[in-house]
Copies of this chain bind each other. A is one copy, B any other.
Amino acid sequence: MQMGTPMRDLPLSKVYQLLEPGPVVLLTTAHKGRANVMAMSWHMMVEFEPPLVACVVSDANYSFAALRETKECVIAIPALKLAPKVVAIGNCSGREVEKFKAIGLTPVPAKRVSPPLIAECFANLECRVVDTRLVTKFNLFVLEVLKAWSDPTQKNPKTIHHHGHGRFTVDGEMIKLRSRMP
């Protein structure tokens, strides 16, 4: 990380604990010298370690061509305080808008991929596309997380979960039950 940000290494073995609960995430790409970002809820874990993640990026999205052609992206996870920016990101297209500047997000160079991290997010996952067999039919990409970062200054971040048409539930209480599952 650069710019004096406080991001720390996050062990790849813990990535599933961030994505499995289904938060809205941001997906950054970089294509033809320009970074872009979209909001995304259609993602899931596929494997623990190395972490594999599947996601759907509609071919109607400006990010689709960037992801398919560069095979690189960053999944950045925003906490509740970024919710208005998340919706602003979803309400415009990279075709017309330089979103990082227009919306006020700080791009930070990643270590393993070209798309930027987002300084304001509490976690950032550098990813490359590892399977494209379901892209033509379903716009479904399989990604490998190469490097993960977390911001230790954001303690117990509450994430948001999309229910459609701008309605989001915010993380409530955490409960702990005796489970044998990872």
Contact = CB atoms under 8 A, between A and B. Distances in A.
Nearest to A44: B44
Interface in A128-180: 131, 133-134, 137-140, 142, 158, 160-180
Interface stretch (A16-24, A29-37, A105-113): A16-24
Contacts of A21: 22, 41, 161-163, 169
Given A22-B21, A44-B42, A161-B161, A176 B172 contact: no
Given A43-B44, A54-B54, A55-B44, A177 B166 contact: yes
Contacts of A160: 175
Contact of A174 (B39, B42, B167, B182): B167
- State the copy count for this chain: 2
A91 B181 CA distance: 7
B44 A54 contact: yes
A93 to B, nearest CB: 10
Interface residue range, chain A: 35 or more
A2 to B, nearest CB: 30
A83 B175 contact: yes
Q: Pick the 10 closest A-B CB pairs, nearest first.
A: A22-B22, A172-B172, A166-B179, A21-B161, A44-B44, A17-B164, A169-B171, A87-B177, A166-B177, A170-B172
Interface of A: 14, 16-17, 20-23, 39, 41-47, 52, 54-56, 83-84, 87, 90-91, 131, 133-134, 137-140, 142, 158, 160-182
